[in-house]
């Protein structure tokens, strides 16, 4: 057991909220009437003998642990230019990466009880991101009656490298450990462990799909939100290539024993070299969830379409122009001509009729824009729609949204990750404005954030559940600034969606 000595004089923490968890007491802060606790360890630091192992409980402590600053973030590099200016990604040094943050509506959590809980799992292609990203500040959720928990987990080869002598999906195991911490501790923060919603964007959404498909997650959450990420995982043989390339660059075997002896900075440098270049739509060496026969017994999409987590309420959605974050900043949109488009259509096995439909619906679009629209739907909108179709008769409700407000920044349109500042109601923060610009419509943020609050609270974001009519809650141009709620659009661009159906 570790002894924790409060580092601040008594009078400087007078009135600061304290909560006793199963591992020890933490002291947070009151910010604008909301109690905030940052950097709480939910598992032991995954270093030394624990490196490349499944997460283990943190060592209990005595005394009061200060929980006012964000905890260490997993080893990572910033996004490469020019994305680094659009997606600020702070890094906090230290070894205790497996930590989480809690925002709760009451400065005296002992006076609140039974509040809904939303657990946020960040995105970043499984190599970037953390819970310390300012866009994810949970204050607005707590203001509106939801306990917000945001989680760090292992990234890259540390969390998702495929190794013969280590458990697969270690980052996913970290997330499960965090959800178990929520189950065991959130009552002390005013939350209800039986009213947990897990939410995430991009790689965070892919991870949540894995959690939905994992039998071990049963009972840990009631609802889930998948933003701009579809269920996906690879067989081990297909997934281990990235790890083997990293080990080859380092001149060591692709085993946990060998990589654990490598300096963490050297390992991170090799990882960055192997995974740099390309993007989620054009392809690259990357990290993926793995169908390991244990945590993930089968492909998550197959499992979910077959009825796994059928009783869990789902909110699924995408942004209209996801591809523009990856294509536009580096000029890829202009670099794609007719020949490259034809080659890409062959690579992605896009049906000829599908390509004709997209061209006809976008008579003024460039080849790069046509490819981007096709890739966005192939990788995100089509699989999420098919998942919604498969769940139409499931016990759990399924809702689908689309975010269509176009940012004026760098002609990025309604691009990937743009919705985050609206969901969290953090439009005023400079890091959010890097993507939204300074004049994003607050009314739209009010409406979108409220939909997420309502879904976490009662399971209804404010529009009809998915059925044969395919209703979509649309946030953006169709609904104006969103002050009167999201527009409900039946079967938007249905000719494009159905053109992907094959006999």
Of 125, 131, 202, 309, which is the active-site residue?
A: 202
Q: Which two tokens stand for residue 128?
A: 């970037």
Instruction: Say whether 12 is catalytic.
Output: no
Helix, strand, coil % over all residues of the chain, rounded to 5: 35, 15, 45
Of 23, 122, 128, 416, which is the active-site residue?
A: 416
Cα–Cα dist 88/80, whole Å? 11
> Roughly what angle, to the nearest 10 degrees, separates helices 352-361 and 367-376?
120
Of 66, 201, 321, 322, which is the active-site residue?
A: 322
25: exposed, middle or buried (Cβ count in 10 Å: 0-12, 13-18, 19+)? middle
Q: Tell me which residue of 338, 315, 362 sits closest to 496, measured CA to CA.
A: 362
Cα–Cα dist 65/10, whole Å? 14
Cα–Cα dist 302/285, whole Å? 24
Cα–Cα dist 8/371, whole Å? 57
Q: Which two tokens stand for residue 47?
A: 């270093």
- Judge whether 26 and 37 are in contact, CB under 8 Å: yes
Q: Which two tokens stand for residue 22?
A: 């199963």
Tell me if residue 502 falls in helix, strand or coil: coil
Look-up of token digits 């996004």: 79
Instruction: Say whether 416 is catalytic.
Output: yes
Q: Which two tokens stand for residue 149?
A: 């928990």
Instruction: Say whether 322 is catalytic.
Output: yes
Tell me if residue 436 falls in helix, strand or coil: helix
Cα–Cα dist 409/86, whole Å? 9
Cα–Cα dist 275/124, whole Å? 13
Residues 179-216 as b or e (16 or more Cβ within 10 Å = b): bbbbbebbbbbbbebebbbbbbbbbbbbbbbbbbbbee
The residues that are catalytic are: 202, 322, 416
């Amino acid at each position: 057991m570790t002894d924790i000595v409060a580092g601040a004089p008594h009078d400087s923490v007078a009135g600061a909220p304290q909560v006793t968890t199963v591992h020890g007491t933490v002291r947070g802060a009151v910010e604008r009437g909301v109690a905030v606790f940052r950097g709480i360890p939910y598992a032991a630091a995954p270093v030394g003998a624990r490196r490349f192992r499944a997460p283990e409980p943190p060592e209990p402590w005595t005394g009061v642990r200060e929980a006012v600053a964000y905890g260490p973030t997993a080893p990572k590099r910033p996004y490469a230019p020019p994305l680094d200016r659009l997606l600020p990604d702070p890094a906090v040094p230290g070894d205790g990466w497996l930590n989480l943050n809690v925002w709760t509506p009451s400065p005296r959590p002992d006076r609140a009880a039974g509040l809904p809980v939303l657990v946020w799992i960040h995105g970043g292609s499984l190599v970037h991101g953390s819970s310390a990203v300012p866009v994810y500040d949970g204050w607005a959720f707590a203001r509106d009656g939801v306990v917000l928990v945001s989680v760090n987990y292992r990234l890259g080869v540390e969390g998702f490298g495929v190794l013969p002598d280590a458990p697969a999906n270690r980052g996913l195991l970290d997330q499960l450990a965090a959800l178990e911490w929520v189950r065991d501790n959130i009552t002390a923060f005013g939350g209800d462990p039986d009213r947990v919603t897990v939410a995430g964007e991009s790689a965070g959404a892919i991870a949540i799909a894995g959690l939905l498909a994992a039998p071990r997650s049963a009972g840990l959450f009631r609802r889930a939100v998948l933003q701009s990420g579809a269920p996906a995982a690879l067989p081990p043989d297909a997934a281990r290539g990235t790890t083997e390339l990293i080990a080859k660059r380092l001149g060591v075997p692709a085993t946990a024993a060998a990589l654990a002896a490598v300096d963490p900075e050297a390992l991170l440098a090799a990882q960055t070299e192997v995974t740099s270049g390309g993007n989620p739509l054009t392809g690259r060496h990357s990290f993926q969830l793995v169908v390991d026969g244990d945590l993930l017994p089968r492909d998550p999409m197959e499992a979910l379409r077959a009825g796994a987590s059928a009783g869990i309420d789902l909110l699924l959605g995408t942004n209209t122009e996801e591809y523009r974050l990856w294509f536009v900043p580096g000029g890829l949109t202009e670099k794609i001509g007719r020949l490259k488009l034809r080659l890409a259509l062959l690579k992605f096995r896009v049906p000829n009729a599908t390509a004709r439909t997209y061209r006809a619906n976008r008579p003024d679009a460039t080849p790069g824009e046509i490819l981007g629209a096709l890739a966005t739907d192939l990788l995100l909108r089509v699989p999420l729609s098919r998942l919604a179709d498969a769940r139409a008769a499931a016990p759990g409700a399924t809702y689908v949204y689309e975010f269509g407000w176009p940012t004026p920044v760098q002609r990025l349109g309604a691009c990937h990750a743009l919705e985050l500042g609206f969901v969290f109601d953090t439009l005023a923060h400079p890091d959010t404005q890097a993507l939204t610009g300074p004049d994003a419509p607050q009314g739209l943020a009010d409406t979108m954030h409220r939909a997420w609050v309502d879904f976490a609270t009662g399971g209804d974001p404010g529009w009809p559940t998915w059925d044969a009519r395919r209703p979509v809650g649309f946030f953006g141009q169709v609904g104006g600034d969103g002050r009167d709620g999201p527009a409900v659009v039946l079967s938007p661009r249905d000719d494009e969606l159905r053109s992907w159906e094959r006999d």
